[in-house]
Amino acid sequence: MLYALCFLLFMIGLYCAVVKKNMVKIVVGILIMEYAVNLFLVMLGFRTGGIAPIIDKTQFDAETGRIAASFINSSVDPLPQALVLTAIVISLGSLALMISLCIRTYEKYGTFDITEIRRLRG
C-alpha cells in the first residue's frame, strides 16, 4: 500500500516534469521524482518495531560468540540509508546545476517559459 503511494508520488513528479511549461516547475517535478525514489529506498529497509542496526556487546550470543539471531531478525536494514544518503548528495549536485542553468537562461532570454525558449529546432 505504502509502495503504491510512493509510486503515485513518482508519477506526480514525472507528470509535473513532462507537462509543465515553466523551467523552475520542471526542476521541482524532477525533485519530486527524486524524493519519491529516495522514500521508496528508505521504506525497503524499514521494519515494523525494528531496532537500530548498531552492534554492541549485548547483541552477541554468549555461547557461539556470534551476532545473535534475534538482532539480525529485528534490526532495520542500514544499506538503503547509505544508498539514499549518496543519492541525496548526487541530487544536490544536479539540483545546483539545474538551478544555475535556469538562472543563466533567464538572464539570456528573460523568461522561464520553455515554449518561448526555442532557438534549436529541426
Partner 1 sequence: MKGMTIIVKTISSWVKVLIILFGIYIILFGHLTPGGGFAGGVILASSYVLLMLAFGGEFVKKDLPLSLVSKLDCLGAFMFILIALLGLVFGGVFFANFLFEKYGQPLHLLSAGTIPFSNIAIGLKVGASLFLVIYSLSICCKAGELDSH
Partner 2 sequence: MSIPLPVFIAIPLATAFLLPMFGKRGKDAATIVANLATISLLILAIGCIGKSGVYEIGKWPIPLGINLVLDGLSSLVLLVISVVAAAVMLFSAGYMEQYTAKAKYLSLFLLMVAGMNGVVLSGDIFNLFVFLEIASLASYALVGFGCGHEELEASFKYTVLGTIASIFVLFAIGMVYGNTGALNMAYISKAIQSSGLNAGLSFALALFIVGFGLKAALVPFHAWLPDAHPSAPAPISAMLSGVLIKSLGVYALARVVFNVFGVSLEVGWLLIVLGILSMVAGAFLAIGQWDIKRLMAYSSISQIGYVVLGIGLGIMLLARDANPAWASLAILGGLFHLANHAVYKSLLFLTSGSIEMATGTRQLKEMGGLARRLPFTRTANAVASASIVGIPPFSGFWSKLILVMAAVQAHYYWIAAIIVFVSLCTLIMYLKVQRYVFLGELPENLQDVEENGGSMLVAMIFLTCLCVLMGLIVLVPGMRNSILEPAVRVLTDGLKYSDIVTAM
Residues that bind partner 1 (CB under 8 A): 89, 93-94, 96-97, 99-101, 103-104, 107
CA 118 vs CA 8, 72, 111: distances in Å: 32, 56, 12
* Nearer to partner 2 (CB atom), residue 68 or residue 117: 117
Q: Choose, by CB under 8 A, the member of 9, 14, 24, 68 that binds partner 2.
A: 14
Stretch that binds partner 2, among 32-40, 46-54, 58-66, 68-76 (CB under 8 A): 32-40
User: Which own/partner pairs from 50-56 qualify as long-range (CB within 8 Å, at least 24 positions apart)?
Assistant: 50/74, 50/75, 50/76, 51/75, 51/76, 52/76, 53/77, 53/78
Widest pairwise Cα distance in the chain: 73
The helix-helix angle for 23-45 and 2-19 (nearest 10°) equals 160
CB of 62 to partner 2, least distance (A): 25
Q: Is residue 35 within 8 Å of residue 9, measured between CB atoms?
A: yes
* Nearer to partner 1 (CB atom), residue 22 or residue 105: 105
User: Applying CB under 8 A, which residues contact partner 2?
Assistant: 10, 14, 17, 23, 26-27, 30, 33-34, 37, 40-41, 44, 79-80, 83, 86-87, 90, 93-94, 97-98, 101-102, 104-105, 108-109, 117-120, 122
